[in-house]
Amino acid sequence: MLALPMGVLLKSKLASYFALFASAGTLLCCALPSLLVSIGMGAVMAGLVTTLPQLIWLSQYKAYVFSGSGLMISIAAYFQYRSRFEPCPADPLLAKACDSARRLSSRILILSASIWCIGSFFAFVAPKVLN
């Protein structure tokens, strides 16, 4: 029974990292270009697109990118919620590692959700407000 909580915590931590990666992708595809153009840095944006042409593809399919990253964040939140009620090991060293992994996973999940919200605002709300 000792391996179960650490396995759940590992899944939670791994899911949180995937969620952070996905939400950072949404930030790069939609929030960064909108921010650069809105503050008058269109030339920087043109240079960025020249250097990273994949940004255009991400922007074209932003609904899919946001759906996929939202799904990953939801899965990470599910694992985080599920691991919240799992007991930590009785060994003090393992219990400390368990608690620190839970805190780190929670922080990563909150950061991921925040980045996702900022990106979705710039991708879907800001263009309608600025027009």
What's the rounded mean pLDDT across residues 30-43? 77
pLDDT tens-digit map of 65-80: 888 888 888 888 888 8
Q: What is the pLDDT of residue 2?
A: 42
- Mean pLDDT, the chain, rounded, equals 79
Cβ neighbour number for residue 70 with a 10 Å cutoff = 17
- Given a contact cutoff of 8 angstroms between Cβ atoms, the answer to whether 62 and 30 are in contact is yes
pLDDT of residue 5: 52
Residues 23/113, Cβ–Cβ less than 8 Å: yes
* Residue count (the chain): 131
Specify the residue for token string 């949404």.
26
> What is the C-alpha to C-alpha distance for residues 9 and 24, in angstroms, rounded to an integer?
22
pTM over 0.75: no
CA distance 21 to 19: 5
Mean pLDDT, to the nearest integer, of 17-39? 73
